[in-house]
Amino acid sequence: MDTLKFPIKFDGVGNFVRVVDGTDEYVKQLLSICILTEPYILPLTPEFGISDPAFATVTPDQLMLAAAKFIPEISIISVSNQYEEPSGKLNVSFVYNR
């Protein structure tokens, strides 16, 4: 099922931009939202998400387990973290296959 792009954006005529189901952008968005969501925040799916990576890196095990539960059509192969010192930004990269 297609979904709204996150963060929400509008096209040139005022419609919501959507992400097409099954595309790489769709999978990337689902995994990114999983990383940004704390467990037990969503009342309908309390197990969705991973522990806050603010003070620790995202472990491959956490992301692989979440992906196996909520995005079963993919298989995570590897996860890597890169911390940007001046900005404090944590970049998480993942490789997956279908």
Q: Where are the domains of the chain?
A: 3-97
66 in Cβ contact with 49 (< 8 Å): yes
Tell me how crowded residue 92 is: count the other CB atoms within 10 A of its CB.
Answer: 15
29 in Cβ contact with 3 (< 8 Å): yes
pLDDT value of residue 38: 87
Which residues in the chain come in under a pLDDT of 50? Answer: none
DSSP state, 46? T
DSSP state, 54? T
Helix axes 24-36, 60-70, angle to 10 degrees: 120
The architecture (CATH level 2) of 3-97 comes to: Roll (3.10)
Task: Name the nearest CA neighbour of 6 among 14, 38, 76, 16.
Answer: 16
pLDDT value of residue 36: 84
